[in-house]
A and B are shown apart, each in its own frame.
Chain A
């Protein structure tokens, strides 16, 4: 459009990628704001096409989706739940399913293993395009001016030795400002905090853990960035306290994105909910989301249960009623007026939630300050081994004193539940699972 690129010659032509993105973001917005019957009509058509494809392309899926004898068609809610090991088996059985031409090529991906079960899977260009467009549309949803400076501090970037970040330059002709991208696992958090001040972006894309660490650094005296307005969070549960800290320390609001590696965005924070536990609109253009109880029956609105996700466009490695291991509640629509199913009480990974004697799952967050009030703890991990037994590993330079041991037990009884049998042990090191994400609370129940 600036004349510098011959591809931009609106209204005669614009680059195909941008035309596609304009279309996709329009459709995503239209579906999010549409009446529920229209969303269901669209999703129903997409689901039927997905199921027909899976059945036609894979014997594994034909067998998996086979209706009971005498039953012509099975509604989604009566199809079997796809656990992670089934998803892995489906992919191992058939590889990437053969795709029609409009799905484009296929790339191989793998989950990070935060679920404990690493999985390799395949994603088509079309599915990737829809995923990309959902995330891009999220900028419009939250009123971001993309000409402003953005920074991204994530694990997925390639190393950049000797450079503080890689800079994607601004493109004024396309209304996009500069983006500084930095790999988060290569430097201590305190250095990230200083870097953020130096870059001073308006928008930041990072994980809650990194953000929390940087907030600690600013509270400890590191100079704060002055322009930050929004933090786009991803990958971990966002606690209300983190939202309050981001607001108080940086004057910025957190805008969360709930996604899974296999299917991309599942739900995006409501742009109108300014509370500390905002609702998330499910991405109706990308997925169908259900919340079911342990028996696989739909939970009542507001009742927490297992999150099942069906990726409408993920034809290379279909995920139909896929249990991603998370716990949340689902409401039929949002308080803002949007008629999209909305996730609330997003507690995160089931395996990172303590199972209480009542059977309920509890999100446990004991932060460093609470442990430090007990003893000079450097790292910690809480692992529930059985319904009754919880083991706590504390990395310290010396053994716990008797008083510290008692204080630790008192903290755990208060924070977790008084009925558990707690074993508190000092260890030299914790055997963290490979990958950058360290889960300090794990339930094996």
Chain B
């Protein structure tokens, strides 16, 4: 592409912002949530553990009250919220499907439930529901991840993914950033509409500082760069999700593009499960469990907790997902769990992640 990228349109200043008098509630909520998520990640264990206990208590109480099936499932559990959780049966995919056929009746504070389904990566697709409240927490975890990794969101960002609406005839579309949230525009592009080599050329043309992309496609783009496609300049970080990241991919990214990969481990049913440690620069960095969103366990074949450093099945409990509760939900993935990170964060970390499809 020889025609240079045209200047970005000036950012509109949102009309609802009249700080310090008032700001739009949704923006205020995001600012608070992302700060609280980062705060809990950095807090001592007793702080985030107490918050988890409070949220678990509410979740278990709600599920038992809202659904006979859940009432039966949760019957008999006693002790602290975490103890009650540990005494519950592991929720397999089929049971989750059956329990999630309809959304549980939500309190007003959780908003409306919308229907979702898994992509079927680890088996037949499962339909479930997610409330506005849970979606808010999920979105804001990803917003908080920008803070964690020190990203300047005024620098150019790009995203290539399957969920971008089709944009026939256009190389990409814009998402306008909110200057009050420290954001500029994001260039988004639908991954399925172009081949990897075209994506590679496009990336060199747009030259973002940050790119969000799935690992499989990104590896193909690196092949294109290695095969002679022009290299993008100024790329700092590549945000990945959807598949484990091999050390070799991290090395290739660093050597070819001078950028680092920052991975996010999530499941469709509850959103972010763990986010890459922002301080570990090795090729197999640990993932900090998203303690503000989920309780994560790694279990052996007898459903007992694995010792730290021993691989096992990843089982998650979504703390905010009330419409279709995922309580001790078996993701189908495998990993090792350690009680804290070498960087000093007092949160559990996952390493050696292997996805169900692998």
Q: Do the two chains bind? A: yes
Q: Which residues of A contact B (CB under 8 A)?
A: 1-3, 9-12, 14, 19, 22-24, 26-27, 29-30, 33-35, 38, 41, 102, 126, 129-130, 172-173, 175, 313
Given contacts A11-B136, A23-B28, A172-B44, 8 further A-B contacts (CB under 8 A): A1-B51, A2-B50, A11-B36, A11-B137, A12-B109, A102-B21, A129-B20, A172-B43
Contacts of A126 in B (CB 8 A): 20-21
Could you jot down 29 A-B contacts, CB within 8 Å?
A1-B47, A1-B50, A1-B51, A2-B46, A2-B47, A3-B50, A3-B51, A10-B51, A11-B133, A11-B136, A12-B109, A19-B28, A22-B31, A22-B32, A22-B35, A23-B31, A24-B20, A26-B35, A30-B180, A33-B154, A33-B182, A34-B179, A34-B182, A38-B11, A102-B22, A126-B20, A172-B44, A172-B47, A173-B50
Is A175 within 8 A of B39, CB to CB? Answer: yes
Minimum CB–CB distance from A444 to chain B (whole Å) comes to 40
Is A10 within 8 A of B36, CB to CB? Answer: yes
Is B53 within 8 A of A3, CB to CB? Answer: yes
Minimum CB–CB distance from B272 to chain A (whole Å) comes to 14
Is A30 within 8 A of B47, CB to CB? Answer: no
Is A3 within 8 A of B137, CB to CB? Answer: no
Is B20 within 8 A of A175, CB to CB? Answer: no
B13 within 8 Å of A (CB atoms): yes
Is A30 within 8 A of B181, CB to CB? Answer: yes
B54 within 8 Å of A (CB atoms): yes
B77 within 8 Å of A (CB atoms): no
B320 within 8 Å of A (CB atoms): yes
Minimum CB–CB distance from B234 to chain A (whole Å) comes to 16
Is B36 within 8 A of A14, CB to CB? Answer: yes
Q: How far is the CA of A22 from the CA of B19 in the complex (A)?
A: 13
* Chain A residue at minimum C-beta to C-beta distance from B44: A172
Q: How far is the CA of A175 from the CA of B42 in the complex (A)?
A: 9
Contacts of B256 in A (CB 8 A): none
Count of residues in B whose CB is under 8 Å from the partner chain: 35
Contacts of A19 in B (CB 8 A): 28, 32
Is A130 within 8 A of B31, CB to CB? Answer: no
Contacts of A35 in B (CB 8 A): 154
Q: How far is the CA of A130 from the CA of B21 in the complex (A)?
A: 11
Minimum CB–CB distance from B166 to chain A (whole Å) comes to 33
A-B interface, 3 closest residue pairs, ranked by CB to CB distance from nearest: A26-B31, A102-B21, A2-B50
Q: Which residues of B contact A (CB under 8 A)?
A: 11, 13, 19-23, 28, 31-33, 35-36, 39-40, 42-44, 46-47, 50-51, 53-54, 109, 133, 136-137, 152, 154, 179-182, 320
Q: How far is the CA of A170 from the CA of B44 in the complex (A)?
A: 14
Is A130 within 8 A of B32, CB to CB? Answer: no
Minimum CB–CB distance from A351 to chain B (whole Å) comes to 33
* Chain B residue at minimum C-beta to C-beta distance from A145: B42
Is A41 within 8 A of B36, CB to CB? Answer: no
Is A173 within 8 A of B13, CB to CB? Answer: no
Minimum CB–CB distance from B15 to chain A (whole Å) comes to 11
Q: How far is the CA of A1 from the CA of B44 in the complex (A)?
A: 12
A23 and B23 contact, Cβ closer than 8 Å, known pairs A9-B54, A14-B32 = yes
Q: How far is the CA of A23 from the CA of B20 in the complex (A)?
A: 9
Minimum CB–CB distance from B295 to chain A (whole Å) comes to 16
Contacts of A9 in B (CB 8 A): 54
Q: How far is the CA of A327 from the CA of B198 in the complex (A)?
A: 59
Contacts of B136 in A (CB 8 A): 11
Q: How far is the CA of A9 from the CA of B180 in the complex (A)?
A: 26
Q: How far is the CA of A387 from the CA of B33 in the complex (A)?
A: 60
Minimum CB–CB distance from A102 to chain B (whole Å) comes to 5
Q: How far is the CA of A33 from the CA of B32 in the complex (A)?
A: 19
Q: How far is the CA of A27 from the CA of B23 in the complex (A)?
A: 10
Minimum CB–CB distance from A282 to chain B (whole Å) comes to 18
A38 and B179 contact, Cβ closer than 8 Å, known pairs A3-B50, A12-B109 = yes
Minimum CB–CB distance from A126 to chain B (whole Å) comes to 6
Contacts of A26 in B (CB 8 A): 31, 35
Contacts of B22 in A (CB 8 A): 102
Contacts of B180 in A (CB 8 A): 27, 30
Q: How far is the CA of A30 from the CA of B30 in the complex (A)?
A: 14
A173 and B32 contact, Cβ closer than 8 Å, known pairs A9-B54, A30-B182, A102-B21 = no
Contacts of B40 in A (CB 8 A): 1
Contacts of B20 in A (CB 8 A): 24, 27, 126, 129-130, 313
Minimum CB–CB distance from A103 to chain B (whole Å) comes to 8
Contacts of A22 in B (CB 8 A): 31-32, 35-36
* Chain A residue at minimum C-beta to C-beta distance from B48: A1
Minimum CB–CB distance from B204 to chain A (whole Å) comes to 26
Is B47 within 8 A of A173, CB to CB? Answer: yes
Q: How far is the CA of A243 from the CA of B12 in the complex (A)?
A: 44
Minimum CB–CB distance from B143 to chain A (whole Å) comes to 12
Q: How far is the CA of A19 from the CA of B34 in the complex (A)?
A: 12
Contacts of B54 in A (CB 8 A): 3, 9
Minimum CB–CB distance from A43 to chain B (whole Å) comes to 12
A23 and B32 contact, Cβ closer than 8 Å, known pairs A1-B51, A41-B13, A175-B39 = yes
Minimum CB–CB distance from A46 to chain B (whole Å) comes to 9
Contacts of B181 in A (CB 8 A): 30
Is A11 within 8 A of B33, CB to CB? Answer: yes
Contacts of A172 in B (CB 8 A): 43-44, 46-47
Contacts of B44 in A (CB 8 A): 172
Minimum CB–CB distance from A52 to chain B (whole Å) comes to 14
* Chain B residue at minimum C-beta to C-beta distance from A8: B51
Q: How far is the CA of A11 from the CA of B321 in the complex (A)?
A: 13
Most chain B C-beta atoms within 10 Å of own C-beta, residue among A23, A24, A172: A23
* Chain B residue at minimum C-beta to C-beta distance from A35: B154
Contacts of B182 in A (CB 8 A): 29-30, 33-34
Most chain A C-beta atoms within 10 Å of own C-beta, residue among B33, B40, B51, B152: B51
